[in-house]
Amino acid sequence: MKKVIKNPILPGFYPDPSICKADGCFYLICSSFELHPGIPIFRSRDLAHWEQIGNVMTKENGFHVKANTFTGGVMAPTIRYYDGTFYIINTNFSDRGNYIVTAEDPAGPWSEPYWLDDVPGIDASLFIDEDGSAYILGTGNVVKRAEGNMERGIWLCEFDLQAMKLTGEPTAIWDSALRNAASPEAPHLYHKDGYYYLVIAEGGTEHYHSVTVARSREIKGWYEGFPGNPVMTHRQMGYDCEIANVGHADLVETDSGSWYAVMLASRTIGGYYKNLGRETYICPVKWERGWPVFSPGTEKIEWEYEADPDLPWTEELMEEEQITDQLPANWCFWGTPYGDFWKVENGEISLKCLSRRINEPLKCLLDESENGRKDDCVSFIGRRVTGIDYRFSCRMDFTPQENETAGLVLLQASDHQYRMEKSLKDGEEVLRVILSWSEMDVPPHFPNFKSETKEKVLAEIPAPSADVELCVEVEGQDFNFFYEENGQRCTVYEHADGRLINPEIVGCMTGMMAGVFASGNGKESGNRAVFSGISYQDATV
């Protein structure tokens, strides 16, 4: 059988990948935004098969993240390994900003955050040279032009790994491959053959996203851009491409001297829609005349590559995802779950009807008082949607009281969602399918952000008995809601349009979640919804 690496290597909402190598294994982490636990971590020996071995940020190391727009929280982490210790640097917009956590075992436990109050900006990255000297890179308005204007670029500063402090003054080392390029960010630094190589993203994480590279003999630069930049992008392929917004790369070298790059990209579904958000892809890298060539021969991301023959091949294990007395590592809360509103036991998830609505009106991500709140939990547990076609189902035991709802939800950013929920109407239990969305003029991280959340009831029928299976089946952008009772399929609503919860304003920062929820919709309640037999199945990946 031909051994190949299939893209995406991490399907679904796993953006901003960063990779390192230690003791014959590769370790990869991704952004998790407002999900808890945060920063999933994966291990592989062959770069093709990845096993999630845990989550870096948990309640045990004080992780706080606020449920709001789904696009805040933590993003763009970097993982590095040096002298027996793993380091992760990251930014938490729900807390104090930039921080580092460390571990001897990448599966955990990880340390509590060392807060880097002296590190400004976003996408901070850590570089540790062969002699142990450490540096932090970041982004900001640090490049001074002749006319006196300060433009966006990349800075570097020495860093004390013991004191966890910057030493010296930040130095601007590069701006971008294109003059005045949008969003030069996500810097990563490597030392090879007498050069320091700087790899960044530019063009913004949407359609014009790209990977560019520069180099310098001296670590503090100024860095010389590669004449062949960008080294990876799909922006020239138009809006009909199946893989879009490629960028944000990190490099790794195997023990035998082969090089690979991991990066984010999005599959487009039924047009230029990115339901799954930004996923993790990989390509081989070849060095020619002192510069890296990504995906040699095609210079675009391919759906598969021949596996590296020097790496030990791991046969894929088809493990069934089971909820027992604990959640699988890939199941998450939306925001840190303070209090006792949830319970996982005997394969069941029990959720209390908290007062918060599942589609609470959005708050500006710049509102620090809102992001710091710990009394505004949402009663939701779910997992990432990883396929274009899939089925999500469960049984629900729930007797609603006034205002209460519970059920299944397909959750996208900024209150864009489909729900199939049980509630009361005129004293009678009903089962409804609801489309929810938000109207906004600017993204939630802009000043003066305002939005209005709206809903439309697509279907409403008398609620079936408790002993039924609630289901949603998705084929591309065709969403179908039904329940099964005594082997019979009973339609609730057919052909809901998935594009309605994935408009351009949502972007692709995050992807869809499939989960279960319960809410008192403005009223606190001790009533609970109990979900059993929860199943997610991809038809395609």
- As a whole number of angstroms, the distance between CA 69 and CA 510 comes to 10
- As a whole number of angstroms, the distance between CA 447 and CA 452 comes to 16
CA angle 7, 12, 14 (to 5 degrees): 90
Burial of 266 (0-12, 13-18, 19+ CB in 10 A): buried
What is the secondary structure of 455-523 as a DSSP string?
Answer: EEEEEEEE---SS-EEEEEEETTEEEEEEEETTEEEEEEEEEEGGGGS-GGGTTSS--EEEEEEE-SSS
- As a whole number of angstroms, the distance between CA 376 and CA 362 comes to 13
- As a whole number of angstroms, the distance between CA 69 and CA 99 comes to 22
Q: Which of 16, 175, 279, 421 is catalytic?
A: 16
CA angle 406, 409, 410 (to 5 degrees): 175
- Please tell me whether residue 61 adopts helix, strand or coil conformation: helix
Distances (CA, A) of 71 to 15, 109, 366, 506: 12, 26, 12, 9
Active site residue 16: yes
Active site residue 129: no
Q: Which of 34, 95, 185, 202 is catalytic?
A: 185
Closest by CA to 538, choosing from 415, 434, 383, 323, is 383
Q: Are residues 104 and 120 in contact, defined by beta-carbon separation less than 8 angstroms?
A: no
Q: Are residues 86 and 104 in contact, defined by beta-carbon separation less than 8 angstroms?
A: yes
Q: Is the backbone of residue 132 left (phi > 0), alpha (psi -120 to 50) or beta?
A: left
Give me the active site residues, please. 16, 185
